[in-house]
Structure 1
Amino acid sequence: MSSSDTPASLTEDAIASIRDNLDEVAERTATAAEASGRARDDVRVLLATKTQPAERIRVAIEHGFTLIGENKVQELVSKADDIADLDHQAHLIGPLQKNKVNHTLRHAHCIQSVDTLELATKISNRLDVLDQTIDCFVQVNTSREDSKSGIAPEDAEALISELRGFTRMRLRGLMTIGLPGRTPEEIRPSYTELRELSEKLLTSGVMPAEASELSMGMSSDFELAIAEGATMVRVGSSVFGARD
């Protein structure tokens, strides 16, 4: 499907707006990466597409943004067929219930929300049955909010040590959802702690060298997250506008 084939229910203005927003996010990401002493393409943009219809996601993929993140397994599954013809990678970035592992493994390239040994065991066992592998991140609750998923930072080392035995799960790094503060001083510590935890676990050898990714930062604070070491930022409203 070419850009000219984009569904008619999207106006030309809507399509242009998504593309312009994507270009702006890409430039801001590259500028922040350079300011942190890295190359412009060292930080990748993952589009958080919660509640977004497939036709809008198609516009983004066709514009070169091929990392897609869904918060809910139901949305991951329901949109899969509509974008299956496009080259992209779908990440699950929201909580994963054990009874939805099978559905997730059919459609996700990466699970960013592994946070318990019980869940990891369920995923690993199912991968054995399917004879598949999958990328994954360990989600860490650096903000220590009860409302958020993720393992406590002090417990992450033990979980990651166990994950090393699950050879079908390729650990790529750590993920966190930062504290929704109003100032950099409130927000930054959540991201600083994830970076420092990653550095500690990589240096000690608990995490393999290839697990150096840091998925952190959203539309409201992704430049701050990049300054603290993010290699992947999850951006939604800056591209698609506020959710309904």
Structure 2
Amino acid sequence: MSEAPQPAVDAAHIRANLDDVAARAAAAARAAGREPGDVRILLATKTQPAEAIRVAIDHGFPLIGENRVQELTGKAEALADLPHEAHLIGPLQKNKVNHALREASCIQSVDSAELAEKIQRRLEAVDGRVDVLVQVNTSREASKSGVAPEGAQGLLAALAPLDRLRVRGLMTIGLPGSTEAEIRPSYARLRELRDALIADSALAADACELSMGMSGDFELAIAEGATMVRVGSTVFGARPAPR
């Protein structure tokens, strides 16, 4: 049986959506008393074809994030001629560390000392370094990855001797909700945790990245201090079926 044809990429629609997201993010930053440049837009490109991602990069959005290592590596060649920055934003299995490190400039999902040590050993072998974010489960949902907020300081202490990992800040996946009162607390907790960890010198003062917020709630995340929001369906539309 032949593969079903993939829909053509609507470049004009993607560009218009990107402009809209950028304008909304800028407005949210200003409303929070911040500068638009304080917030970066990361494009969550899970199952999106390289053709669509190329449109976004060409339009001035070079920061992309993949949930799966196989997609991160599988699209790398098709994007290699365009300057961009690729992050792994989904869980990283220890047996896929080598593959992830070939393409990712940042791993946003470090949530255990064991995973961090595996990354360190591989980077020692290839004389490399990588930026990382510590993933924190601020919503305390059993279905989500991430260290518990009260465990973040201990994990950071375990990461401190690992000189191949540059800790840049924290990441969380917010609580899905339908109201601002439901959504905002898990983002506020990450900001408060970062500030407390910096005050205790568990985090360096410049390790202030807060990766939080997605298509449905990124403006609320910006209001709570997000420095990076992960936006996918708002830009690209519904995810296509994997090829």
CA contact (8 A) 1:110 1:135 kept: yes
Report how many residues are paired: 234
Which of 92, 97, 103 pairs up with 1:96? 92
CA shift digits 1:82-104 (9 cap, x unpaired): 00110000000000000000000
TM-score scaled by length of structure 1: 0.94
Which of 105, 129, 140 pairs up with 1:144? 140
Distance across 2 between alignment mates of 1:15 and 1:88: 18
SS of the aligned residue for 1:41 comes to: helix
Task: Please give the residue correspondences for 1:119-138 in structure 2 after superposition, counting only pairs within 5 Å.
Answer: 119-138=115-134
115-124 or 28-37: bigger deviation: 28-37
CA contact (8 A) 1:113 1:138 kept: yes
Aligned to 1:217: 213
**1:161: how far off?**
1.3
CA contact (8 A) 1:19 1:59 kept: yes
CA RMSD for the aligned pairs? 0.9
Task: Please give the residue correspondences for 1:69-218 in structure 2 after superposition, counting only pairs within 5 Å.
Answer: 69-218=65-214
CA contact (8 A) 1:216 1:233 kept: yes
Query: Which amino acid is 2:175 matched to?
Result: L
CA contact (8 A) 1:161 1:207 kept: no
Distance across 1 between alignment mates of 2:35 and 2:196: 23
Query: Which amino acid is 1:93 matched to?
Result: I
Matched, 1:55 2:21: no
Q: Which runs of 5+ in 2 are unaligned?
A: 1-6
CA shift digits 1:95-133 (9 cap, x unpaired): 000000000000100000000000000001110001001
Query: Which amino acid is 1:190 matched to?
Result: S
Matched, 1:29 2:29: no
**1:10: how far off?**
3.9
Distance across 1 between alignment mates of 2:103 and 2:224: 31
SS of the aligned residue for 1:223 comes to: helix
SS of the aligned residue for 1:138 comes to: strand
Structure 1 segments, 4+ long, off by >3 Å, are none
Which of 219, 223, 226 pairs up with 1:230? 226
CA shift digits 1:13-34 (9 cap, x unpaired): x110000000000011111111
**1:243: how far off?**
1.6
**1:221: how far off?**
0.1
CA contact (8 A) 1:10 1:55 kept: no
Identity rate, percent: 67
CA shift digits 1:187-235 (9 cap, x unpaired): 1110010000000001111101121000000000000000000000000
Query: Which amino acid is 2:149 matched to?
Result: P
Distance across 2 between alignment mates of 1:10 and 1:170: 39
**1:240: how far off?**
0.2
Query: Which amino acid is 1:117 matched to?
Result: A
